[in-house]
Amino acid sequence: MKTKRVFCLGGKDAMKKSVVLFCSSLTVLLSCAFSQAATIQGTVVNEKNMPVEGVMVSAIDTEHRKWTSVFTKPDGSFTIDGLRNCNYRLRTRLMGLADTWLSSVSANTDNLHIQTRPAVGEELELQRPANSAFSMLDFEDSHAKLNFKMMCSYCHQVGTVGFRTPEEPVDWETMLRRMDGFGGLFPHTKETIIPRLMETYKGDAVKQWPTFVPPPAPTGLAAAATITMWEMDELLQGSFHDLELGRDGRVYAVNIQNGKLIALDTESGEQTTYKYPKGAYGPHSIETANDGSLWTTMCASGKMVRFDFNTEQFETYSSAEAPKTRGNYPHTLRINPSDPEGLIWYTDAGSNSCFSIHPTTHVVKEYKLLDAGQATAAGRGESRGITPYGIDFSPVDGMIWYSKLNGNRIGRIDPSVDDGAIKEWNPPFRGPRRLHVAPDGMVWVPGFGSGVFGKFDPTTERWTVYELPDAENQIPYALNIDKDGIVWVCGTGNDTINRFDPVTETLVEFRLPTRVSYTREIEFDDEGNVWTSTSGPARHMERGVGAVIRISFPDTLPTNGGTQLIAKTYDGNHDVGNLAVAPKRRPPNQGLFQKI
């Protein structure tokens, strides 16, 4: 089933807690033309009339639900180009300064003078990112904190305004049960966490926090990007776990909560909604097959779905090997464009297996993975959970690599061998999530629980690990590597996307336009643009809707604006850093499990 909608979004003053308002604005609709050559220019200054660098300035096209954001230069100037000839709402944002909103700015305005002022009181506190809010929650030791991160932050940020809405202890207990979908939270943490959550986040508790100290403004490369964001789907319904760039030029995003595939035309702003077929629930991961069709893992129903955008038809298949009629929890999928068979590879987070399905015969093959104690460095910090999670192919030799989120492993499958000749390794950090293999064959892995990311060399079996800034409060969900070998890491806990150059070991952080931008996937287009989508509970998000986001860059990149990271190396004979063996888990709640 297909539907098309065009939305018009308005907004209230930034000081209001409710900032999302759906509207019908005939004036805006009539004033917009389809020219993409217009610009808006101006200068941002502080209360002393001095220029401010690194301020994000967003031009909001309400008809197309499109935000185009740039950053001010050292002289405070900004230019937003590529705009349609219509009226825009304009917002300025920099942590530490109050947001400024202009209700109607005409395209081709070239003399804006925007004066800002320091943010104070509640407006400053509302700028605090989730990693800082999470740091306010006390734990008895680092093991308990790491365990809580692993079990209770896999679908939303902890400590945000939306997170703090429960009122009574029973409400917090209900939320905790939902968060602990794996059932792996330490028993002693379960006994004490509700009072501590309430003491930290309920009611006036936030007023007792130390005053938020904003980070420095972005400069150099961190301020050179143009960030374009399209708000997706309806108010309080948009949670877009993954996205894919279709060969028809549209961007496809899966709404995991409502079982929808939404195709975005970035030129017209038109969003076309396709309802997944009956019996296929929980769209999770989506990729383009070698024939151009789109395949989706349906995690809640154990199915694989193929979508042909030419015929707009779906086909549904079991994700399990015959004679089973459904899989447990098909999770992430990847497809090697150099594979002559075009096999679709995917993990099953509810089993200890990876699978492939043939795109034309639809024959499914199961690869049974290793058990506890069988991995290199096994037994050191392993949990009893398994959870096959991320997966990718090596562009060097075609090997298939996967991660086990709770089993704390990465592994390799040789597709040329019938049983896969499977081998697994235990990384020196906690929570290997959505990994990717670089053009040189190095396997890059995010450490969700440890707030790190690392490189594994399949030849030497050595690890090189980098901590993100404020690692103990970060939750990097996924990463990807572009054609030039640059590693891009989701700043899932602080509304950023991070660029890491393995040669210079420099990390550059790109701030996203809205708060509570929980990201789980990164893609690239042929022009080198970086794409992501936002997910999690829409009611937690600043605008109340999920979004598709594109990050673009000038031809010449500044060399400053980053942070030098320090590598730590491990030879494979290591304990898993800062870990404790998790207690035996109960069977996962399947209704909640689909959120991961």
Give pLDDT, residue 377: 52
Between helix 169-179 and helix 142-152 the angle, nearest 10°, is: 80
Q: Where in the chain are the domains?
A: 2-124, 141-208
Angle made by CA atoms 47, 53, 59, in degrees to the nearest 5? 90
Helix (H) / strand (E) element for 518: namely strand 518-524
Give pLDDT, residue 370: 92
- The DSSP code for 247 is T
115: pLDDT strictly greater than 90: yes
Give pLDDT, residue 183: 76
Among 228-242, 342-356, 454-468, whose mean pLDDT is lowest?
228-242
> Best-predicted range by mean pLDDT among 79-83, 161-165, 169-173?
79-83
Report pLDDT digits (tens) over 449-470: 999 999 999 999 999 999 999 9
Tokens of 295: 């395949």
Reported as a pLDDT band with limits 50, 70 and 90, residue 272 is very high
60 half-sphere exposure, CB direction, 13 A CA radius: 20
Question: Quick check: bond before 283 cis, omega within 30?
Answer: no
For the chain, counts of helices (H) and of strands (E): 7, 40
What value does the mean pLDDT of the chain take?
Answer: 89
Arithmetic mean of pLDDT, 538-550: 94
544: pLDDT strictly greater than 70: yes
> Which residues are CB-neighbours of 267 under 8 A, at least 6 positions away?
none
Euclidean distance between CA atoms 488 and 91, whole angstroms = 27
Report pLDDT digits (tens) over 65-94: 999 999 999 999 999 999 999 999 999 999
101: pLDDT strictly greater than 60: yes
Q: Which of 374, 333, 324, 371 is nearest to 352 (CA)?
A: 371
What is the phi-psi region of residue 416: left when phi exceeds 0, alpha when psi lies from -120 to 50, beta otherwise? alpha
Q: Which of 474, 522, 472 is nearest to 494 (CA)?
A: 474
Three-state DSSP state, 477 = coil
Q: Which CATH number fits domain 2-124: 3.40.50.720, 3.10.20.30, 3.20.20.70, 2.60.40.1120?
A: 2.60.40.1120
Report pLDDT digits (tens) over 297-314: 999 999 999 999 999 999
Reported as a pLDDT band with limits 50, 70 and 90, residue 160 is very high
- List beta partners, residue 534: 519
User: What φ, ψ does residue 551 adopt, rounded to 5°?
Assistant: -110, 120
| C-alpha to C-alpha distances, 286 to 96, 305, 565, nearest whole angstrom | 38, 9, 32
Give pLDDT, residue 437: 98
Sheet holding 353-357, edge to edge: 330-335, 344-348, 353-357, 364-368
Three-state DSSP state, 417 = coil
The whole-model pTM stands at 0.91
8 A C-beta contact, residue 431 and residue 408: yes
